[in-house]
Structure 1
Amino acid sequence: MPTTPFTRATASLHGLALGDAFGSQFFVPANRHALSGRLLPPDPWQWTDDTEMACSIYRVLADHGAVDQDRLAASFADRHDFDRGYGPATNRMLRLVREGGDWRALSSELFDGRGSWGNGAAMRVAPLGAWLADDLAEVVRQATLSAQVTHTHSEAVAGAVAVAVAAATAVREPGLSPGRFLDRVREHVPESMVREGITEARHLLTIGDPVLAAQALGNGRQVSAHDTVPFTLWVTARERHDFEAAMWTTATAGGDIDTTCAIVGGIIASSATVDFLPPEWRSRCEPLPDWAGVPPLAS
């Protein structure tokens, strides 16, 4: 792999933010007509909590080379912007961490002690997979650590592992067929509904309609990992060499569009050149926050 962990993670984060910002526009009623006609929504496109949390992962990796859970939890809490669209449980947890609460206890106590199985750990993790792509075992280990800071349920962890491994696989083996791509990801995902969904996604690769695929796999409407990740991997397997096609395909299925587009964008940008992200789209997207220290993409 000729690229460095830093450049790969940087590209992945830019792709994630662009997908997130693009997808978030379709929650604006006036923009929904643009989806059927594949018309770009008016700018500026603002990113959401998906990107804000991904920036924390990127910053911790850049500073420490691995996931330090205490520092990651502190960054999530310190950078938490209530207006970025966080879920209520995460809003409350991050506020309590800022006030001195123990993130380990708060995370594990969510949802009557079951922990969250939401898609939040998966939506932010693609840059980690890109950064650690040289070692898939480490990708799995570090993705698990990154998830546990807010999502302790095994399904949420499996979702994060699947997305991180997908990003690493996009870097390591860009020429894989769609079926082999999903096979490679599935090999590293623990037994779970997420893993079962990836198996189903492979069976559905011959279906060209994302709405039909999402009916079987989910589109994030339930905001759970197993309702989100399999569909995003179905799109990624089919469209990972065409960013624009991947975004429109993902958005067409509806659901949690900012998150599904963020996941797909982060994965497929991991091994991309700068030209892979369309310049017109990039010009519409809100810049990444200064605190993240992310180099801008060249024009």
Structure 2
Amino acid sequence: MQVFEKLRGNKFTDLVGPAKEQFNGQGSLGNGAAMRISPVSLFCYNDYERLVDMAKRQAMLTHTHREGVNGAILQAITIGKTICLDPTQELDSKKFIDDLIEDMNEIEQEDEEFLQLTDAQIKPFKAKLTLMRKMIKKSLNNPNKLDVVEVIMNLGNSLRAVHSVPAAIFCFLLAQNPIPGINTDNPFRRTIQYAMTLGGDTDTIASMAGAIAGAYYGDQSINPNMLKHCECSEEFAKFGDELFDTVHKEQ
């Protein structure tokens, strides 16, 4: 809220200044920008370069730390990919993750100030995605071998973007198949329920996982009993349709 108060105070003449002042000038590394990114993914789903640029600019209104920005970009890219996939075809989870690793390897560029750090520190999202690839492979071989504690230890469940965006992606990918202890045949609902089992910043992780799953499965996968608990769901569905129509009118 402090950021928005300062934006109003400067009459929006400096859009990123207030966010840069956060946390002693380091900027926020939280997941708020990633959580709200889905409209950008819909608006730019057919233009990757525009998607990355707009995701970055949207994030920097409130989050200027590289983790906060890159987390929003990763979430935007992930949703952008799932929008374009056919849910009736089996999802190749390994290729999906490999593509994200390639994207983040390019986005998380090395800067001079990071030269003394390890690759995992320089490119933390790439490192998390690499861990995720191993965990998905393990779950496919034996679903009972992968427990929630291991997921939290490797991917995280906190409000830091690097400890929550990868976790949300993992929830979506894991829920492609039945998960022990979660009794539903609906993969969208399975995604949300599994995200809730991680604890921590549950609402944000479940929101991001749900955005990815929703983009993939479509609104027909969302149970009406779930939908009625979503505030202004009909209004947001209308906004989504109008945003999609706007994209195609530009072409």
User: How does the TM-score come out when normalised to structure 2?
Assistant: 0.74
1:256 equivalent in alignment to 2:176: no
State the distance in 1 between where 2:16 and 2:190 align: 40
State the distance in 1 between where 2:230 and 2:238 align: 17
Q: Mapping of 1:196-275 within 5 angstroms?
A: 196-205=127-136, 206-207=138-139, 208-220=146-158, 223-239=159-175, 242-275=187-220
Determine if contact 1:104/1:149 at 8 Å carries over to the other structure: yes
Identify the residue that residue 225 of structure 2 maps to in structure 1.
Answer: 280
CA displacement at 1:195 relative to structure 2: 2.1
| Greater mean alpha carbon deviation, residues 168-177 or residues 274-283 | 168-177
Which structure has more relative contact order (CA 8 Å, sep 6+)? It is 1
Which amino acid is 1:153 matched to? H
Q: Structure 2: which 5+ runs fail to align?
A: 109-122, 140-145, 177-185, 242-251
Identity %: 27
Check 1:180–1:107 CA distance in 2 against 1; reply closer, same or farther (3 A cut): same
CA displacement at 1:242 relative to structure 2: 1.0
**Secondary structure of residue in 2 paired with 1:266:** helix
Which amino acid is 1:169 matched to? K
CA displacement at 1:142 relative to structure 2: 1.3
State the distance in 1 between where 2:236 and 2:46 align: 27
RMSD across aligned positions (CA) = 2.3
Q: Mapping of 1:87-236 within 5 angstroms?
A: 91-100=1-10, 102-174=14-86, 175-189=90-104, 190-191=107-108, 192-205=123-136, 206-207=138-139, 208-220=146-158, 223-236=159-172
**Secondary structure of residue in 1 paired with 2:199:** coil
Q: Which has the larger radius of gyration?
A: 2
| Greater mean alpha carbon deviation, residues 155-164 or residues 268-277 | 268-277
State the distance in 2 between where 1:149 and 1:187 align: 26
CA displacement at 1:288 relative to structure 2: 4.8
Aligned residues: 204
State the distance in 1 between where 2:10 and 2:236 align: 22
Which amino acid is 1:114 matched to? Q
**Secondary structure of residue in 1 paired with 2:217:** coil
Determine if contact 1:233/1:264 at 8 Å carries over to the other structure: yes
CA displacement at 1:119 relative to structure 2: 0.8
Check 1:147–1:242 CA distance in 2 against 1; reply closer, same or farther (3 A cut): same
Q: Structure 1: which 5+ runs fail to align?
A: 1-90
